[in-house]
């Protein structure tokens, strides 16, 4: 009589990993070939012949054919990345890929350095983070290239491929450096202070956020654009007049030469206190009349007066601290089952990327709702201080044409994806409807 014995845990585990590896290959294939599917729709190829006009013959506003075509491509791309990216990260983890590559990189590092100590383990961790970053970049490279193609097709970019490649490389390097600082620092803190690392990490992330916002316009932006002080004396005088009306002093207004790369229009406010800055794209100054430029600047003043950047950092840091506390609780319970050496094992890097992506997706409606509320508040301030509602309405209409933006979108899409109110809502507010 033969007795069938149950499979060992080892063989069950290997079978599960084999299945997950097949799913990993399938997900990578989806990511790599999706841009080809979008290309084969032919929508982008027809974009040059589509109208970007948003005002109908009877004077009513509508989504332009060009904006609808771009929307038909961008929306599924957004949804796909929102769903597929965390799946990819979790599969990299659960398939055994992360642990296997951590081991390989450590063996290689120890063999090259001929020693194993704290410094060589730190080097191996940094190399592992870099390797994961390279793998993710290569997997998503077709999407990155398709993004360049898409912007060219819809007239939003005048960059050559080589110029785009240079910007892509610089951005990749900055991304890797950021990953080393944030995630490398996080793993170091977990290992140095296993019981209180979440408190130290929260403080470090807050300091990083403040530092990034202060350095971005003076260190990071100049890597991609030429940025200069505002020299238009007439505009400077109008800014001072509006600032006096608002009870503030604006010392620093910068201009970015965005026209060297795009025809799109933008402006933003950044910084805190005396380090606050209003940054204008030169496309705005070149293509819009003074009244519309004034309303844009009044909107950015609204962010300044209401201290939105400061509140974003403080609110985001508070939420992050709660998240880190939950992450500490979770890592302490799963690290053995995941095959990690400790909660601070760098092999957990893809898992953390997946958790961050998943949580970010889940809280996206809340975060974007807060952002839209701030933008509405800045719009209200601009209409009050700028006092040119018709110019504001015309400005938003121009934005829809220049940025190939939708006038109206479904409510669910606004709630999930929009950091600003749709242009149709902003126009109706400006004209008092």
| Strands 253-256 vs 227-229: parallel, antiparallel or unpaired | antiparallel
Q: What is the pLDDT of residues 37-83, one digit of tens each?
A: 999 999 999 999 999 999 887 878 999 999 999 999 999 999 999 99
The CA distance from 338 to 174, in Å, is 30
The domain 227-306 is placed in CATH, from the list 3.30.70.260, 3.30.2010.10, 3.90.1150.60, 3.20.20.70, at 3.30.2010.10
The CA distance from 93 to 96, in Å, is 6
**Which pLDDT score is estimated for 114?**
86
* pLDDT at residue 9 greater than cutoff 60: no
Eight-class DSSP state of 205: H
Average pLDDT over residues 347-374: 96
pLDDT surpasses 70 at 257: yes
Boundaries of every domain in the chain: 10-226+307-431, 227-306
Query: Which pLDDT tens digit goes with each residue over 130-152?
Result: 999 999 999 999 999 999 999 99
Confidence check: pLDDT of 251 > 90: no
Instruction: Give the span between the Cα atoms of 164 and 183, in whole angstroms.
Output: 27
Q: How far apart are CA 350 and CA 352, in angstroms?
A: 5
277-281 sheet: strands from edge to edge: 227-229, 253-256, 277-281, 267-270
CA–CA distance, 199 with 404 (Å, rounded to integer): 44
Measure Cα distances from 376 to 50, 237, 312, 420, 422 in Å. Answer: 31, 26, 15, 8, 11
Q: 303 and 269 in contact (C-beta within 8 Å)?
A: yes
Output the pLDDT for position 4: 44
- For 163-193, what is each residue's pLDDT tens digit? 999 999 999 999 999 999 999 999 999 999 9
Share of the chain above pLDDT 70, in %: 97
How far is Cα 13 from Cα 159, in angstroms, rounded to an integer?
Answer: 50
Mean pLDDT value of segment 312-321: 91
pLDDT tens per residue across span 89-125 = 999 999 999 999 999 999 999 999 888 888 899 999 9
Has residue 419 got a pLDDT over 90? yes
The stretch 294-303 carries a mean pLDDT of 91
């Amino acid at each position: 009589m033969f007795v069938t014995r149950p499979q060992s845990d080892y063989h069950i585990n290997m079978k599960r990993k084999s299945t997950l590896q097949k799913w990993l290959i399938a997900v990578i294939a989806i990511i790599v070939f999706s841009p080809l599917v979008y290309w084969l729709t032919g929508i982008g190829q027809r974009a040059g012949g589509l109208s970007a006009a948003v005002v109908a013959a009877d004077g009513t506003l509508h989504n332009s054919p060009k904006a609808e075509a771009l929307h038909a491509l961008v929306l599924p791309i957004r949804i796909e990345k929102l769903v597929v990216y965390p799946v990819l990260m979790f599969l990299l983890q659960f398939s055994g890929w992360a642990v296997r590559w951590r081991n390989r990189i450590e063996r290689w590092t120890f063999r090259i350095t001929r020693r194993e100590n704290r410094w060589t383990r730190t080097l191996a961790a940094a190399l592992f983070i870099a390797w994961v970053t390279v793998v993710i970049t290569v997997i998503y490279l077709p999407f990155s290239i398709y993004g360049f193609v898409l912007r060219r097709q819809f007239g939003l970019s005048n960059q050559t491929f080589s110029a785009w490649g240079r910007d892509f490389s610089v951005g990749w390097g900055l991304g890797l450096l950021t990953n080393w600082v944030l995630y490398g620092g996080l793993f170091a803190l977990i290992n140095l202070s296993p019981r209180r690392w979440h408190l130290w990490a929260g403080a470090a992330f807050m300091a990083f956020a403040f530092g990034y916002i202060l350095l971005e316009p003076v260190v990071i932006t100049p890597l991609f654009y030429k940025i200069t002080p505002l020299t238009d004396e007439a505009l400077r005088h109008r800014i001072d007049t509006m600032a006096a009306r608002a009870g503030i002093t604006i010392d620093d207004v910068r201009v970015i030469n965005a026209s060297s790369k795009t025809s799109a229009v933008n402006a933003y406010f950044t910084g805190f206190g005396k380090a606050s800055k209003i940054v204008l794209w030169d496309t705005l100054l070149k293509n819009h009349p003074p009244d519309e430029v004034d309303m844009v600047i009044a909107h950015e003043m609204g962010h300044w007066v209401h201290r939105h950047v400061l509140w974003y950092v403080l609110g985001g840091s508070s939420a992050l601290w709660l998240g880190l506390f939950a992450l500490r609780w979770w890592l302490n319970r799963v690290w053995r089952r995941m095959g990690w050496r400790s909660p601070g094992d760098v092999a957990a890097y893809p898992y953390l990327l997946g958790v961050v992506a998943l949580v970010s997706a889940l809280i996206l409606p809340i975060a974007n709702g807060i952002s839209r509320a701030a933008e509405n508040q800045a719009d209200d301030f601009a209409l009050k201080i700028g006092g040119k509602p018709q110019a504001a309405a015309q400005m938003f209409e121009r934005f829809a044409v220049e940025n190939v933006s939708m006038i109206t979108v479904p409510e669910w899409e606004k709630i999930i994806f929009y950091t600003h109110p749709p242009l149709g809502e902003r126009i109706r507010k400006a004209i008092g409807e």
